[in-house]
Amino acid sequence: MPADNTSRRPTPFLCGVACLLTSLIGLAVARATSAAPLAQNRGASIRAIVHLVQEDQASGDETDVPPQDVDKYIKVYQAMQHNRNLTVEQAAAAQGLSVSAFRSLEDRIERNDALREHVRDALKPQASPSSQTEPTRRKPPAE
């Protein structure tokens, strides 16, 4: 009987160790499989946030136009209003702008409501001073 007693003792111990190892392996596998999608989700979330911030910054940059650039834009159009034979290329070059730079500037101004109105007001034809000095007089009716 003593032989049976010694052979049975390692069995529960080995079963316990096997169960413990199986549990640890199961936990490691579960963590690895659930961590991968979380890492992918985190990466996707971070990329989405970075993209949104970049879009927000870009949209702000798209409508922000320095005052000196607005002045150049207005001067290009004023030159073309004054001399109808001028091309956009010639008028833009006089302000140090290429046609593509001028068109890019134009796009940014068009996207900014306040700037667009400012430019329109600046480019409106000015009323001639002679028409403002004296109102039109009517001849008195003939008797």
pLDDT tens per residue across span 100-116:
999 999 999 999 999 99
The mean per-residue pLDDT over the stretch 36-50 comes to 58
Lowest mean pLDDT among 49-58, 60-69, 120-129: 49-58
* Cα atoms in the 13 Å half-sphere on the side-chain side of 1: 0
Q: What is the 3-state secondary structure (H, E, C) of 61-96?
A: HHHCCCHHHHHHHHHHHHHHHHCCCCCHHHHHHHCC
Distance CA 91, CA 77 (A): 8
